[in-house]
Amino acid sequence: MILLSDANVLIDLGYVQGLDILCQLETIEVLDVVLEECDHVSQPNLVADILEAGVQPIETKTEWFQEAQVYRQGNLSNPDLLNFYYAKAHRRLLLTNEKPLRTLCQQQTVTVHGTLWIIQEAYQRKLSTPATLCQWLETLSNLDRRLPKQVINQLKDTLGCS
């Protein structure tokens, strides 16, 4: 299955230098409007790193915005709405940590996972050492990346983090 990534997942993986691991999971796509969200002074090389890792940019079509409006709810941003629409229309697994977007995916039976799932997959597929993945969790926790503490603690137990 092809994975479609939201900006927050790419930002998380940029902080831990994990973009190459992401691209070892499956083919990864990112909408161009989402890629633009990754262009920030806090991670000045992130967009280049994303593309260099092998994430495939998808050019957003103007008609998608109109077609996506039927799914608008709550405070979803336009990039979030477009991400959902593309994932649903093209049968992609959506990677996001945004709660409103995850809720919409669950309501519409679009498969959705986040950063912690990527770490779990990297561990199960032996794409990285447990020690490295423990460091990722530590880094993300220190950056206050709004990840569920209970799931982080379970993952730390699985990985054998100290």
> What is the rounded CA–CA span in Å between residue 5 and residue 14?
13
Domain with 160 in it: 1-162
59: which DSSP letter? P
pLDDT of residue 162: 86
pLDDT average per 10 residues of sequence, the chain (162 residues): 97 97 98 97 96 98 96 93 98 97 96 98 98 97 88 96 91
Residue 81: CATH number of its domain: 3.40.50.1010
pLDDT of residue 153: 94
Give the global pTM: 0.96
What is the total count of domains within the chain? 1
State which amino acid sits at residue 5.
S
State which amino acid sits at residue 112.
V
